Structure 1
Amino acid sequence: MKIQFVVALLCLVIFLHSEGKHQDNGHYKTKAKGHNHENYKSKGHPPKKCEAPCKTLPTTCPVGYSKLTNQRISPNCYLFGGDRIVKWYAALERCISTPGAYLWIPETIEEAEAIRDKFNIVDNDIDVFVGGNNLADNDTYVYAVTNDPFDFDNLPFGEIKDTPETVEGCMELEFNNEGIPNFGWDSDPCSSEEEAYICEFPIAPLC
């Protein structure tokens, strides 16, 4: 009699354990089906491409910097040295004195035109230092701080004005308001030539 009771009790325990496990599994599957990823996907809102940079880049300009009127051309902040004419090294030092900033990296003609309008650069022939230089390698130009390549054979816009310097060459962009094309690239000695300059500060894109 005792043996039968023990067997019956054991069967009951096994049955209850099995039933509880089945319910737990069923609950887990139901929860997984309604996971946030599925809900997010079903609503038709894929993650924004600019989500990561928006989280890692600043959203406001440093003191002295300002945004373009049309921020869809570029969301970044800029500082124009104005009438202050300096050597390339001094221009670079001025820019990097603001953490995260660097000498301008012009990417499109729309950006250059927007900067010309923003800072009212109206002189018929004005040059501004940009970050391009060959200080690390006489045969290769890169942008200071970012080390992005500058390719004379694949300009973003404008034209090369003179043969690139093979020793200590630093890039300047010529604003020619009356000429065609309006912009020309020129490489001059970094430690002797004096020009205006533009600093750039990267900022989070519009999301």
Structure 2
Amino acid sequence: MTIDLYTWNTPNGRKISIALEEMGLPYKVHPINISRDEQFAPDFLRISPNNKIPAIVDPDGPHGKPVSIFESGAILLYLGEKTGKFLPRDLGERIPVLEWLMWQMGGFGPMPGQVHHFIALENEQDRRYGLERFMKETRRLYAVLDRRLEGREFVADKISVADFAILGWAWRHERHKVALADFPNVKRWYATMMARPGVTKGFEVKLG
């Protein structure tokens, strides 16, 4: 059965298209144009009560019943559980996946997102303050990731949903004003991820 993906061309949206492609799940894209406030439409609110993309509807959910899921991290965990892919069954192996997925959700997303916001400001004083604050933290997070990837191919040793989550935001490194050359382990990991056929398709699919 085909999963319905409600999304837009954002880092969080790309996380899910990448995961769906990598897991080999059929899906249909329903663009939600956030620049036109389509995320506030009543029909979308029933799927995503927080008015944020992405969200999915799986007609073949638990016990064979349809289920809707919002929040990109929750979606990734659900898809990993559903397919048995990119989410280890062993608790010891699963712990670092959960740690780095939560690291992305709590920091490596909100902080670069603030950089996106302040870059666009016209007021130079506000712009300078915001960029000084949030670009410093964004670079710190890249450094954390770089240390984690030293001697590792993927963040939890084996490729997982955590890599998909982080990649969605690392994809925007140029917009963050971050040169991957400053973080060689991240640069190597990024090249490895972007060379995967499923990742390539996940970025190529039209989301909006």
Does the alignment reach a TM-score above 0.5? Answer: no
Larger strand share, 1 or 2: 1
Q: TM-score range by the shorter chain?
A: under 0.3
> What is the TM-score normalised by the length of structure 2?
0.22
When Rg is computed on C-alpha atoms for both structures, the one with the higher figure is 1
When normalised by structure 1's length, the TM-score is: 0.22
More helix by percentage? 2
